């Protein structure tokens, strides 16, 4: 591209000093590229309104580039399309497939919730219940899918006339990408999306971006450290062997995309290497079953180890003798009849809804049960209460004693911690880098990360404020 003078502004309308609703913008001479279009999550009324009443006009956005399929990055794409966005949505092919599952699931939940609340309102009109109209339905999701353009890693593309873009592997979830933009005036801008970690199962380690002038970076764990993945494998093996020796069950509440497949992958390896005995493993979630099929058709996203351990011998990393994928409710109920040790992986990840509740209810009072916590449990969820080791919990209105042992495995995180972020940044050309913009993190995490990056020698680090326009 021939160099030319351009006016460039960066701003965000989501994930500013919080971790949901990712929406970042680069205005290049009036042409707007949007990076991610995530849903806000949290307090119901507030996030519903923030998702419905966008603080910008989708019709003004020329192109969307999607870093990965997580709901807080992709969930509001149908709202964009419903409100006048007509451009392309660029993502890796795997991200497109994961986003399809995520958006369809959200449309389904929204319509179910709506029906439920309407019924409740009819029964008890005096309670003045708030009804949340669905923000989109499956028809809108289908419309949105028509806008996708799949781009593999390292295939340059042109989101607008004045910019060339390229995806780099972010090592966060299947298909996740960082975005590198080269503008016509020679300026180079990078977006990390969510930054993954070295050594995650299945995925390649995060790549490094070329020399940049500006970097927009996430800081979810800007003030936290994780254990390494190697420790997670050892701990998981220990838990399984303990449960086997006491003839107990292992219950794992897990997110259906990525975490579940990582668990399957590790359990497969541990079984193959005879570090754990062959016991029945149930994947009890229709969405997890669908997501696993997406993993199977995207081997281009796998790391070398997955290739060498499985693909090179024509083995399926997600299929082996003792694993069973459970779709129907009838089969799900039958799991309860299986005697002896077994592993049950089910959703929801924070144990708030879904089939996991039935498995917890059936096994939580048994002293031989082990509940393994492998994800972040938000405040006020059943998962969090289990982590906090409360003595009694309520499921479906009935009280149960928590006799089961609850084990938290800290290593299962898909986000880099502050040491990993600092190490990743330290490999950049800091002489050229003018500034880092921090997004996607609670205020404490970002403030703390800002200090660490400045100490590392980054010239300027800004914690981004929503709606504020920064001239580059
Ligand atoms: Zn993510």
Enter the pTM of the model: 0.92
Averaged in consecutive runs of 10 residues, what is the pLDDT profile of the chain (472 residues)? 81 94 96 96 88 96 97 96 98 98 94 89 84 95 98 98 96 97 96 95 97 97 88 93 97 92 95 96 94 95 95 92 94 93 93 91 97 84 91 93 94 90 97 97 94 97 97 96
Q: Is the dihedral of CA 65, 81, 41, 292 positive or negative?
A: negative
Scanning the structure block, which residue is given the tokens 């369809």? 104
Per-residue pLDDT, 2: 61
What is the distance in A from the centroid of ligand 1 to the CA of 23?
Answer: 13
Radius of gyration of the chain (CA): 23
What is the distance in A from the centroid of ligand 1 to the CA of 419?
Answer: 19
What is the distance in A from the centroid of ligand 1 to the CA of 363?
Answer: 31
DSSP strands (E only) in 67-120 = 89-91
What is the distance in A from the centroid of ligand 1 to the CA of 73?
Answer: 7
What is the distance in A from the centroid of ligand 1 to the CA of 421?
Answer: 15
What is the distance in A from the centroid of ligand 1 to the CA of 83?
Answer: 25
What is the distance in A from the centroid of ligand 1 to the CA of 416?
Answer: 11
Per-residue pLDDT, 381: 84
What is the distance in A from the centroid of ligand 1 to the CA of 391?
Answer: 33
What is the distance in A from the centroid of ligand 1 to the CA of 301?
Answer: 16
Scanning the structure block, which residue is given the tokens 């990712």? 22
What is the distance in A from the centroid of ligand 1 to the CA of 222?
Answer: 15
What is the distance in A from the centroid of ligand 1 to the CA of 68?
Answer: 7
Per-residue pLDDT, 1: 55
Per-residue pLDDT, 131: 85
What is the distance in A from the centroid of ligand 1 to the CA of 96?
Answer: 14
Q: Are 41 and 47 in contact (CB under 8 A)?
A: yes
**Cis amide linkage into residue 58, ω under 30° from 0:** no
What is the distance in A from the centroid of ligand 1 to the CA of 196?
Answer: 9
Per-residue pLDDT, 328: 93
């Amino acid at each position: 591209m021939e160099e030319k003078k351009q006016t460039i502004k960066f701003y965000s309308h989501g994930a500013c000093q919080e971790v949901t609703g990712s929406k970042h913008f680069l205005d290049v001479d009036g042409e707007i590229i949007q990076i991610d279009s995530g849903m806000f999550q949290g307090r119901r009324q507030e996030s519903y309104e923030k998702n419905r009443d966008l603080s910008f006009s989708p019709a003004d956005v020329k192109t969307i580039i999607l870093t990965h399929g997580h709901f807080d990055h992709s969930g509001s794409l149908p709202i964009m399309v419903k409100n006048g966005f007509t451009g392309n949505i660029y993502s890796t092919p795997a991200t497109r497939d994961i986003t399809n599952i995520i958006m369809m699931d959200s449309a389904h939940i929204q319509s179910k919730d709506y029906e439920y609340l309407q019924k409740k309102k009819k029964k008890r009109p005096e309670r003045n219940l708030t009804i949340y109209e669905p923000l989109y339905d499956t028809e809108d999701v289908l419309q949105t899918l028509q806008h996708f353009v799949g781009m593999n890693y390292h295939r340059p593309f042109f989101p607008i006339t004045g910019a060339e873009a390229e995806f780099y592997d972010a090592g966060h979830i299947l298909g996740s990408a960082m975005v590198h933009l080269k503008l016509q005036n020679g300026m180079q801008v990078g977006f990390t999306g969510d930054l993954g970690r070295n050594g995650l199962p299945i995925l390649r380690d995060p790549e490094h971006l070329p020399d940049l002038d500006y970097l927009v970076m996430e800081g979810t764990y800007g003030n936290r450290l994780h254990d390494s993945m190697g420790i997670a494998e050892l701990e998981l093996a220990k838990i399984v062997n303990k449960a086997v020796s006491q003839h107990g069950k292992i219950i794992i509440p897990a997110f259906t995309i990525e975490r579940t497949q990582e668990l399957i992958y590790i359990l497969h390896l541990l079984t193959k290497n005879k570090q754990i005995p062959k016991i029945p493993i149930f994947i009890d979630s229709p969405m997890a079953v669908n997501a696993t099929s997406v993993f199977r058709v995207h081997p281009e996203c796998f790391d070398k180890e997955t290739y060498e351990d499985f693909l090179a011998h024509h083995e399926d990393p997600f299929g082996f003798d003792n694993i069973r994928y459970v779709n129907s409710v009838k089969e799900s109920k039958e799991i309860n009849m299986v005697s002896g040790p077994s592993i049950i992986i089910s959703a929801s990840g924070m144990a708030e809804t879904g089939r996991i509740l039935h498995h917890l209810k059936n096994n939580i009072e048994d002293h031989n049960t082990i509940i393994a916590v492998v994800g972040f449990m938000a405040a006020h969820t059943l998962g969090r209460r289990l982590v906090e080791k409360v003595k009694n919990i309520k499921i479906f209105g009935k009280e149960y004693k928590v006799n089961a042992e609850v084990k938290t495995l800290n290593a299962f995180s898909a986000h880099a911690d502050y040491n990993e972020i600092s190490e990743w940044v330290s490999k950049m050309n800091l002489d050229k880098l003018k500034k880092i913009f921090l997004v996607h993190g609670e205020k404490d995490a970002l403030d703390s990360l800002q200090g660490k990056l400045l100490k590392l020698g980054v010239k300027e680090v800004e914690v981004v404020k929503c709606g504020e326009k920064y001239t580059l």
